[in-house]
Chains A and B, each alone.
Chain A
Amino acid sequence: MIALLIRDLRLAIRAGGGFGLGLAFFLILAVLVPLGVGPEPAVLAAIAPGVLWVGALLACLLSLDRIFALDWEDGSLDLLATAPIPLEGVVTIKAMAHWITTGLPLVLAAPVLGVLLNLPPEAFGWLVISLLLGTPALSVIGTFGAALTVGLKRGGLLLSLLVLPLYIPTLVFGAELVSRGAAGLPIQTALALLAGITAGSVAILPFASAAVIRINLR
């Protein structure tokens, strides 16, 4: 399993294009929003948590179709499905590799973009914590979507249509956690619910993704 993880990470970093693209997209979004809504510091501070969360979510979406597409094309997905490790494990590792190459850089870059968007100083900690807690759920849910559309020729747009509604609870609790942190309100509920969604998705969705891959490989 660790070998698979290392292989996926190597492929993501060396194969060019995919890695870093999400990060660049996140940066561009954080630059475009102030240009669009105007440089008013109070306005930016008010919308910063939501913009950063939506940006992270869209950046995550950008690299989803690469999770299975290459392995599907060259047939290594068939080999992985017949490998001694269970397919559920393969799917989890794939999601984890996606998180390490997409989610984790987003978490690390978010505070810098928070400065650009005039995020209140109290909220920086909560921003990092909420993204750290929430982005694994984004990767796992996205892996499910990628598994559903793996056999399709033009699955990219359909993938966004399928995955974005499923991202809503994570987005709501994540952005709510940051804005409550910024306003100095109690954050326990949002924190617990966000963590709960991530834990639940990580525990259950790999089974759904593996089932869907088996159907697609049939």
Chain B
Amino acid sequence: MSSFWEYANPRKFMQTTDWLLPVVAWSAVVVTATGLIWGFFFTPDDFRQGSTVKIIFLHVPSALMAINAWIMMLVASLVWVVRRHHVSALAAKAAAPVGLIMTMIALFTGAVWGQPMWGTWWAWDPRLTSFLILFLLYLGYIALWAAIEDPDTGADLTAVLCLVGTVFALLSRYAAFFWSQGLHQGASLSLQSGTRVDWAYKAPLYVSMAGFALIFVALVLAGTRTEIRNRRMKALVARERMA
């Protein structure tokens, strides 16, 4: 009977990701390219926004993954705190830079989109502000990992920071909504409400979202593998010194 927790064993994880990583990476390339090319070249221009609407195919997937990366870090940190699996802590560490870049892409594409549509690169809108706060939290998390030498202490401290940071990120989000009414439109895609985006846009958007999710998984797997190899190297060096 095989269980999910088998992959907490670094050797098993390395064996599995050995063939899984290329599969995920190549499918990420294919799916993202399909979504973006379809979105950029084979969708009609919006009757009011013109071709600027097409930046949605970068903006929405990256924003989605920026939030999901943090949620994944939260789950991985909890697994580390509860079950002490090193792979989990290393996966959280590997996910942080990816999430940071996704946040930057979302902020940048949002600014580029906002300039022609709202007439401003930046506005202190609740959604924009929340993302800026998320960006700062990613920075703090990465800086704390970088500052601590002992890997287990680093994993523990960053895990606690991730848990506390999640609570304050949510608080900040509601504080930002309380503090200012925004320019940003509501959610384009939602599970409850009816369609607000035409299928001509929605289909390539879903493909790009899947592509970005695959990119994220591929990068996290590659990052985790690097961290595991890094650990093994350090262990070898230490053993060499002992001998």
Contacts and interface: CB of A to CB of B under 8 A. Distances in A.
Given A208-B163, A215-B160, 15 more contacts: A148-B144, A148-B157, A149-B144, A155-B147, A162-B161, A164-B136, A165-B137, A165-B140, A166-B164, A166-B168, A169-B171, A172-B178, A205-B164, A208-B164, A212-B157
B157 A216 contact: yes
Contacts of B156: 212, 215
Given A158-B147, A161-B139, A176-B178, A168 B172 contact: yes
A161 B160 CA distance: 16
A218 B163 CA distance: 20
A152 B144 CA distance: 10
A161 B143 contact: yes
Given A151-B153, A208-B160, A218-B153, A158 B133 contact: no
B148 A144 contact: no
A176 B153 contact: no
A128 interface: no
A166 B140 CA distance: 10
Main secondary structure of the interface of A (DSSP, over half): helix
A211 interface: yes
Contacts of A164: 136
22 contacts: A144-B164, A149-B147, A151-B153, A152-B147, A152-B148, A158-B147, A162-B144, A165-B137, A165-B165, A165-B168, A166-B165, A166-B168, A169-B172, A172-B175, A172-B179, A173-B178, A176-B178, A176-B179, A189-B178, A190-B178, A208-B160, A212-B156
B156 to A, nearest CB: 4
Interface string A202-217: 0001001001100110
Given A161-B140, A212-B160, A215-B157, A168 B175 contact: yes
Interface of A: 144, 148-149, 151-152, 155, 158, 161-162, 164-166, 168-169, 172-173, 176, 189-190, 193, 197, 205, 208, 211-212, 215-216, 218
B148 to A, nearest CB: 7
Main secondary structure of the interface of B (DSSP, over half): helix
B215 interface: no
B176 interface: yes
A158 B144 contact: yes
Contacts of B133: 165, 168
Contacts of B160: 148, 208, 211-212, 215
A208 B165 CA distance: 11
Contacts of B172: 165, 168-169, 172
A214 to B, nearest CB: 9
Counting from the closest, the 5 A-B pairs by CB-CB distance are: A172-B175, A169-B171, A169-B175, A165-B136, A215-B156
Nearest to A162: B140
A162 B137 CA distance: 7
A68 B140 CA distance: 20
A162 B147 CA distance: 12
A169 to B, nearest CB: 4
Contacts of A149: 144, 147
Contacts of A161: 136, 139-140, 143
Contacts of B174: 169
Nearest to B153: A215
- Looking at A161, A169, A189, A218, the one whose CB has the most chain B CB atoms below 10 A away is A169
Contact of B168 (A169, A173, A216): A169
Contacts of A176: 178-179
A189 B148 CA distance: 41
A168 B153 CA distance: 27
B140 to A, nearest CB: 5
Interface string B159-190: 01101110010011011101100000000000
Contacts of B147: 149, 152, 155, 158
